[in-house]
Every structure is written in C-alpha cells, then in structure tokens.
Amino acid sequence: MKTSGPLLDVRGLNVSFESAAGRQQAVRGLGFSISEGESLALVGESGCGKSTAALALMRLLPDSASCTGHIQFAGRKLPDLSPAEMRALRGRSLSMIFQEPMSSLNPVHRVGDQIVEVLRAHEALSRQAARRRAMELLDRVQIAEPDRRFDDYPHQLSGGQRQRVMIAIAIACGPRLLIADEPTTALDVTVQAQILALLDGLRRELRMALLLITHDLGVVAEYADRVLVMLDGSSVEEADTQRLFEAPAHWYSHQLLGASLHCHPVTLAPVRRIAQVPGSGVGQPGCAPLLEADQLVVSYDRTRSARTNAVDHVSFAIGAGETLGLIGESGCGKSTLARALLRLIPLGSGRLCFDGQDVGTLPERALGAFRQRIQMVFQDPYGSLNPRQSVGRILDTVLRVHQHGDAGQRTAHIDSLIERVGLPADSRRRHPNEFSGGQRQRIAIARALLLKPSLLVLDEPVSALDVSIQAQIIDLLLELKRDLGLAYLFISHDLAVVRRVSDRVVVMRDGRFVETGANPDIWEAPAHSYTQSLIAAMPRVRWRVSTADQSAAVTPPST
Amino acid sequence: MSAADSHPTARVPRAVRHPALTAFLRDPAAMTGLVLLVLVTVLALLAPWVYPGDPLAMVARPLLWPGESWAHPLGSDSMGRDVLAGIAHGARISLLVGLVAAVLSLAIGVLVGALGGYFGGWLDDVLVRMTELFQTVPSFLLVIVLVTIGRPSASVVVFAIGLASWPVIARLVRAEFRSLREREFVLAARAQGYGHARIIASEILPNAAPPVIVTTSVLVATAILMESALSFLGLSDPNVVSWGRMVGEGREFLRTAWFLSAAPGVAILLSVMALNLVGDGLNDALNPRLRR
C-alpha cells in the first residue's frame, strides 16, 4: 500500500496525567513527521515526555492519562481506530522496543516461543512455519547458534542478546515503523554499539522507519537522519542531524551538546584537566600511597560447592590527592571491589592498607576511625538516601554517630556543606523526594564529605543522571578535589567520564585488572585488546561540534 | 540552588506535605471505617458514665423487645440485663483485648522478624524455625489450650491471642528487612560506621512500617474475633460482659428473641469491618503506586 505524504504525521499532541498533585502536562503540542525508511531521533532528558509521546503513538498510555491531538499513521488516524484495529496494527506495522531487555521478555517462556507467539498472533502460520521464521529472525538479529538459543529462557541470555531477541520480536511482522525507546541505555558500551549498528542495518534492509528515543546525543550523531530536541514536553528544535551538531539554534540544544562528553572526540587535545591541579598540601601524588591493595580477592558462593572470585588478585595504590579511574563493563567486579575497599563486604584474601595501617584485618568495631577517612558515593541517588528522613536528619546522624560537637556546631557544619555542594539553603528541612536526581547526588556528596575524609570512592556517581546534570556533578567533584585535596577512586563504565576526571586509569575485566595507564596516554596507545575494543565502541560524532561562541543566540531565558 | 541546577527539567514540585494522609481522607471506604471505629471507641469510653454500675445487674423485666421500653432501647435478656449496657461495656473489653493483643504480637513479631531479616545466617534459621513452629499449630486451638491452662481472665486471653498471632508480623517484617537491607541507603549507613541497632531502628524499620501498619489493623480485627469466639465458647472471664458471650447466651433464645444474639453480633461485625476498611484504606494510602 502506497500512501502520499509522510508515514507518520503527528500534530498538536497533548498528553496529561491526573495525579494527587493535580493535572500534569507531560507532552505539550508536540508535532513531527517521519517518512518511509527515515530515522528520526527524539532527544531530551529524563522527564521531558519523550517516552510518553511514544506510548501515546502506540495508544499504550495508562488510564490516568488523557491524550489529544492528530496522529496519522500510513493514512489512518490512530485515535479513531477501535481497540481491535489498534491491536492488529501494533506489532504488525507499528512496533516498539523498550529500554529494559530484562523485564520486557517474559521470564517463564522460551525466547523462541515468544517470537513464534507474535508471528502467529498476526499471521496465519503453522507452528512449523512460524518456528522456521523465528529461527530466521534470530539469525537476522545476529544471534549465534539460533537453533540452540531458540529453546533458551531469557535469564540464560546476556543483556545484549535479550535486546536482540526483543528486536527480533519487534521486526517479526515487518513493521513500517519501529519505535526504539532508549534501546541501549541499559547495556554496556561495546554491546551498545553493536545493537545500534544492527538497528541501523535492519532499517535499511527492511526499509522501515525508525523513531529512536534517547538521551544520548552520541547515539543520535551516528544513526539518525533528523533530530527533534524536546524540553518540558514540547519540541524546541527540529533539524537535520549534521545541521544540529554544527549549528544548534536553540540554547537548550546547545547546552545538551556542550554537556555531552561524547561530543569531544577522543583523539583531540584533552578537555579541561582540572584533575591535575595538585592537592592543597595534604599530600602529593608520588608519596607513600594513601590506599594500597595487594593481591586482593573477594569471592562469593555461586553454588554450595563452587566459589567464584568477583575480584581476583587485584593490586593497586592510590596516592593522596590522586584520582584513579576504574573502567569496566557491568559484572566485571568494580562495585564489589568498591564495597570491599570500605570493608562493607568481607575480603577473601590479600592485604588492604590505608595510610600505612593494615585495615583488612581490623575487626568491625575498630573500623570507626577508618570509616571517617574513606567515604563512598553510590550510583543511584534515589536509593542511597533514606526516603523517610529529612536531609538535615540524614546528615546530622552521621555527625552524631561520630560525636562531632554539639547541636549548634553540627548544624553550622551541615549548613556550610549544603552551601558548598550548591544546594538550596532550606534543604535541611526537606526530604529526598523533593529533590531532583542531580540535587540528591549533591546531598550524597555532602554526606560523604561531612567527616572530612581523605579518600572518596565514587561508584558510578553520574551514571543515573542526565547529561547536563552529569557535567555539573563532575565539575563539582573536580572543584571539591582541588579545594579539599581529596583522593578519588572514580568507578564508571563511561570512558568519556573517566577520561575527564582521572590522573591514572585502570581497566577491569572479569575481576582482574587488564591494563593500567596514565590519562591521557592510555587512550592514545591502549596496550590491551580489551581496552582497544572499549575505545572503539565509544559513540563518536562525525562533525566538529561548534564549541566557540557559546553566548550568541544560545542564552537560556532567565527564569 | 546553584544556577546550573535550576535547569528547567530538574525542577521538582514541592511534594504535598502528607500525601498519604490526604489520600486516606479522600477514600470514602476508609473514612466510613474510621467513623465507625471512632463511634465504637466513644461508646467504650462513655460506657461507665452512660451505664454506671454493673452491666451484669438485673435491671429490667426479662426478654423486653427492643423499643418496648425507652429506658432499655435494645431490650433485655432472659435475666433482665440491659442489652445496650452490655454492648457498651462489651466494647471496652473487645477493643482492649484487640489492641493489647495486637501490640503484644507486634512487639514479638517485629523483634523476631527484624533480627532474622537483618542478620540472616544461623540466627535467621533458628527464628524462622520457631516462627514456623507457631504457624503450623492452628492459632485458635493454641489460644484455647493456653486459656484453659491458665485462669480465664482478660490478661490471659490477651496473652494467648498475642502469642498465637505474632508469626504473621514476624514473616512480614523479615521479608521487608531482607529486601531493605540490600538497599544502598543501608549500605551507605554502614559505610558511615552506624551501629546495627541504629540501622535496624532508624534506617530500616521506618521504611518497613507501611505494610506492618496495615497488617496490624487487620490483626486487631482478628483478635476481636478470637476474643468473641472464646467468650462464645464460655472460655472468658465470667465476671466481664463481652460481645461474644452475649451472642453465646442469646443462642438459646434464637427463635423467640433473636435480637439477643443479633445486636452484639452486629457490634462485632461493624467493628471488624471498620478495622478492615481502615486497613485497606491505609494500604492504598501508604502504597504510592496505588495512590492516584
């Protein structure tokens, strides 16, 4: 069927939610169109309404939402279709894949059967024929040994393989439009690149249109024809990808570009290197190390008989005032290592020294002084703050436990730190749920700094945050390091972030360190093949991003 | 707020001060339950003033029907005792037994569940076995056994019901603790060097509270029912009037004077229903996902 005009045409889309706090508008007057075979990227930070808009297209919004506007797909007005007609359309000519490949597959069914189910729901196929088609699809999404994988359950596949299965399901009936909602956000960098390349290849092969929803501009640069930037539920700029990268018209697009660390190509001269500013006399890199780990092993029971080493004979040292970046993909043992360093989980064997003292063997009760000097910031600013306590209480308890002064002194100390990390002055009386993700991470950082530590272990401190907030938190961390002479162990899966903050970098894989090197040498001459593949997988921008002339035409409105 | 963080999408609306309370007050079923509960409580509190003296005293002609005499609006039983006076005084014992028994089982259950769930290991194994031991014995039989061993007084009844119903709370608290102890804010508390007692009492327990509060409201209702059942069987203090006993005594006149069983029966029904409605309302209000 050939239709005139674009494949999908959306005009004046409004979505609002009914909640206890009143009516909340998630999408305001959004309009865009996609032609056959075209790929459009919907870019914006969390909460900007991009996923809501996608769900509105699929008519999958929850009952509490109300949606108005014109949505025309392949010549049909979607809001006018009956539920049965809509069901026939979904999965057949309009498909969607989601962010979490872990939860979008049904865990109790074999992956092959889940593909067969979609095929047979939309096409009159015999079981045998459907099975053959499902095999072909698994092959097409480049899953090795499809005949063996067919009978696997989702938990037996890796995250990347699961997302491939999701894609196989989505393209099973040859859709004309595929909506991919943050398809690679939950995946490791190397896998992310493969999945995006696969989606792009399939789009050309099957001549389907792709609506790619993402917060990551690096993704957009390589795989989208056009970009639509969203802010607060409405579109602020729509442009060809190249045009947007070279000359963003709206201040917000500019801000997103500036904040995206991926947009600074790896091979160019270093970005700002505040990290190399020496500590304020607390100690210089090169003196006796602050923290020293020697042949550290952390193991856990996998079954009753077998033990696995999550951290496998790892040795390293961090000097006072130094930042050691630790890179590795999920499951490589980096968080386990972080927790072991703070003695939060038992050490298997090996030596752990802090400031010349062997802390690896100290009993739990004797750890008080050690815990004042080494502190941790966690990845998830939503999970690491007790939701039932006010910020003031969260911070005050730390000081009370370690008996720091009377109530007045404690409050003064807390207030000064709240100001230091850039939180509003009335933060003490508020609860964590009243803050945004970036602000919560600031609270977590304030908590870690209360006892004036010398080493901060930062476990993916910015991974859960939007790009522009990431940049702010990193700036704050660099500033604090310079002012307070802190040493950091900075753990991340994101090379761009580690590159920005570290003095030295170690690469971890399967519980072992595969390579150690100075920043930026390690990026220019990676010795290990794994480091090379990590660097190769980084999303890159083909065009030079205009970083000059930040102020012209791009000043945010004063609010 | 730093200028950078005042980024348009980063702004979070200041939350309503008590969203759970607001949601609860807006729920008509929960409010019905609450109003009924307040009425029963007022009745129990006012009983000694409205009906001074012993409610078991014979004050009227036997078997007066409700409405027959305005001095005794709900009539009198076969021995001339005022039914309404009995219900008013019975409310005292029902609520008292319900509340105290629930508090007792809450204390045991939270202690056992929190210790087992937080520490795990052999302590958890021992505590879980102990919980299962109590759970495998039918709780009402256990109460009967305990009451018949001791003297049938209100305190023994309370003790027996409390001892029979704590496993529900213990299992719930243990499950909550097991999942909460893995959360990052607990890890953060440990990283700050907090002691176990502080982590259990002020970090984890407040987060485990909502389901426990809901279960407790149902537990009070169950305790009231158990007390009524015990009195119906004549296993309660003979010198104290109670709803269950009134139902039991009225049983013999079911064909001639059904109101003798029905009136206290309705009192039991309304109080238990009120507690269940309040429990459901709390469940919806304290669970942010169900709140609309």
Q: For the segment B184-205, what is each residue's pLDDT rounded down to a tens digit? A: 899 889 888 888 999 999 899 9
CA atoms within 13 A on the CB side of B152: 14
Looking at the partner chain, which of B9, B19, B207 has a beta carbon nearest the beta carbon of A387?
B207
* CA distances (Å), origin B108, targets A266, B173, B218, B224: 61, 11, 17, 19
pLDDT at residue A486, rounded to an integer: 93
Residue of B nearest to A396 (CA): B192
B6 touches chain A (CB under 8 A): yes
Measure the CA–CA gap between B93 and A54, rounded to whole angstroms: 59
- pLDDT of B10 > 70? The answer is no
- Under the banding of pLDDT at 50, 70 and 90, the label for residue A554 is very low
Average pLDDT over every residue of A97-103? 77
Please give the C-alpha separations between residue A78 and each of A65, A496, B179, in angstroms, as whole numbers: 16, 42, 43
Q: What is the largest CA-CA distance in chain A?
A: 78
pLDDT: is A281 or A60 the higher one? A60
**Angle ∠(A328,A333,A339) on CA atoms, nearest 5:** 115
Q: Which of B190, B196, B292 to mutate to test the interface with A (most CBs of A within 10 A)?
A: B190
Return d(Cα A167, Cα A180) in angstroms, integer. 9
Residue A174 pLDDT grade (very low, low, confident, very high; cuts 50, 70, 90) = confident
Collapsing DSSP to helix, strand or coil, A435 comes out as coil
Query: For residues A59 and A73, what is the distance between their CA atoms, to the nearest angstrom?
Result: 12
Please tell me if residue A46 touches chain B, with a CB cutoff of 8 Å: yes
Q: How many residues does chain A have?
A: 559
Cross-chain CB nearest to A378 (options B8, B23, B188) = B188
To the nearest whole Å, the CA of B120 is away from the closest chain A CA by 14
Largest distance between two CA atoms of chain B: 83
Give the whole-number percent of chain B exceeding pLDDT 90.
44
C-alpha B104/C-alpha B90 separation (Å) is 21
- Alpha-carbon distance of B148 to B160, in angstroms, equals 10
The reply to whether residue A46 touches residue B183, judged by beta carbons under 8 angstroms, is no
pLDDT, position B205: 92
Q: Above 80 in pLDDT, residue A547?
A: no
Q: Distance of CA A176 to CAs A36, A89, A171, B121, B135, Å?
A: 7, 10, 9, 55, 58
Decide if A437 touches B, using CB distance below 8 A.
Answer: yes
Please tell me if residue A559 touches chain B, with a CB cutoff of 8 Å: yes
**Chain A contact for B182 (CB, 8 A cutoff):** no
Smallest Cβ–Cβ distance between A383 and the set B4, B8, B185 belongs to B185
CB contact A429 to B (< 8 Å): no
* Residue A276: per-residue pLDDT: 42
Q: Is A48 on the interface with B (CB under 8 A)?
A: yes
Residue of B nearest to A401 (CA): B194
**pLDDT at B20 (0 to 100):** 78
Contact assignment for B12 to A434 by CB distance below 8 Å? yes
In one-letter notation, the amino acid at residue A404 is H
Cβ contacts of A402 on chain B, cutoff 8 Å: 193
Q: Is B196 on the interface with A (CB under 8 A)?
A: no
Whether the CB-CB separation of A188 and A535 falls below 8 Å is answered with: no
Whole-number pLDDT of residue A415: 93
- DSSP secondary structure letter of residue B16: P
Interface touch A384/B184, C-beta < 8 Å: yes
